[in-house]
Amino acid sequence: MLIKVKNKDTLIFDDFIFRCSIGKRGISNKKKEGDLCTPKGLFKLDTVFYRSDRIKNIRTKLKLRKIDKSMGWCNDPLSKKYNSLVKISKKLRYEKLYRRDNKYDVILVIGYNIKNPIPFKGSAIFLHLTKNYKGTAGCIALDKKDLLILLKLINKKTKIKIY
């Protein structure tokens, strides 16, 4: 089972075609931290994080984890915790997961640069929510309804191909 992201505005899974947005500077096979590009390649999918105060009854076969106010995703290339879930600390640079806006009400972690992360190669690459389909900082963004449908359809063996 394969999710395909073929261009800047189309995500395909099985017979489903979803509108999406990607990094402001497109897709790159030379992804670097902060370059506003979505990484090119074939990747595993990981955990689904969600705000339980905003999203109810997520149906998925993937691992689910509630987001709390202490959660962040380390985007500091010089940290040993680079590109991983962290507890928010003044000692770390991080992307806050508990946000005022709705962008991270549901996040599916894309397995890019996660296992033995290479510093400066890029971090926090997620499938997350959008309302306006504007370019992202490197993630892939879907409408809430579409992301929830996708989560129902996929399983632990599903991968995502970005090309």
Domains and CATH numbers, the chain: 2-162 (2.40.440.10)
In this prediction, residues 58-72 reach a mean pLDDT of 98
Q: Confidence band (pLDDT; 50, 70, 90) for 7? A: confident
pLDDT of residue 135: 97
Compute the average pLDDT of residues 75-104: 97
Cα torsion through 34, 35, 41, 42, rounded to 10: 30
Mean pLDDT within 111-120: 97
Other Cβ atoms less than 10 A from the Cβ of 69: the count is 9
**Contact assessment for residue 153 and residue 143, using Cβ atoms and an 8 Å cutoff:** no
For residues 155 and 62, is the Cβ–Cβ distance under 8 A? Answer: yes
The values of phi and psi at residue 30, to 5°, are: -125, 50
Average pLDDT over the chain reads 97
Cross-strand bridge partners of residue 74:
94
Question: Within 13 Å, how many C-alpha atoms sit on residue 97's CB side?
Answer: 29
Confidence of residue 87 (pLDDT cuts 50, 70, 90): very high
The pLDDT of 81-108, averaged and rounded, is: 97
